[in-house]
Amino acid sequence: MILGIDIGGSFTDMLLYDGKNFFIHSTVPTSMENVKNEIEKIPDVDSIGIAIAAWLKEGKIMHAPNLPFKEFDLKLDVPYIMENDANCFAYAVSKIFNEKNLVGITVGTGIGMGIVIDGKIYHGMGLAGEIGHTFIGGDEPCVCGGKGHLECYFSGWSIRKRHGKEAKELFEKNKFPYDENFEIFCRALANVTLLFDPSIIAIGGRIGGRLSKEKLHKIYDFLPSQFQPEIKVIKDDYMVAKGACYMAEEMKNKL
Does residue 148 bind Zn ion (CB under 5 A)? no
- Give the residue, chosen from 42, 63, 101, 146, that forms a contact with Zn ion under the rule CB under 5 A: 146
- Give the residue, chosen from 64, 90, 93, 144, that forms a contact with Zn ion under the rule CB under 5 A: 144
Region near Zn ion per CB under 5 A, out of 33-41, 127-135, 161-169, 196-204: 127-135
Does residue 149 bind Zn ion (CB under 5 A)? yes
Does residue 64 bind Zn ion (CB under 5 A)? no
**What does the alpha-carbon distance between residue 9 and residue 64 come to, in Å, rounded to a whole number?**
9
**What does the alpha-carbon distance between residue 170 and residue 178 come to, in Å, rounded to a whole number?**
11
Angle between helices 85-97 and 239-254 in degrees, nearest 10: 80
Name the amino acid, one letter, at 101. Answer: N
**What does the alpha-carbon distance between residue 178 and residue 195 come to, in Å, rounded to a whole number?**
25
**What does the alpha-carbon distance between residue 248 and residue 217 come to, in Å, rounded to a whole number?**
34
Region near Zn ion per CB under 5 A, out of 14-22, 31-39, 98-106, 126-134: 126-134
Nearest-10 Cα torsion for 69, 75, 80, 85: 0
Does residue 219 bind Zn ion (CB under 5 A)? no
Does residue 93 bind Zn ion (CB under 5 A)? no
Does residue 53 bind Zn ion (CB under 5 A)? no
Does residue 211 bind Zn ion (CB under 5 A)? no
Binding site for Zn ion (CB under 5 A): 133, 142, 144, 146, 149
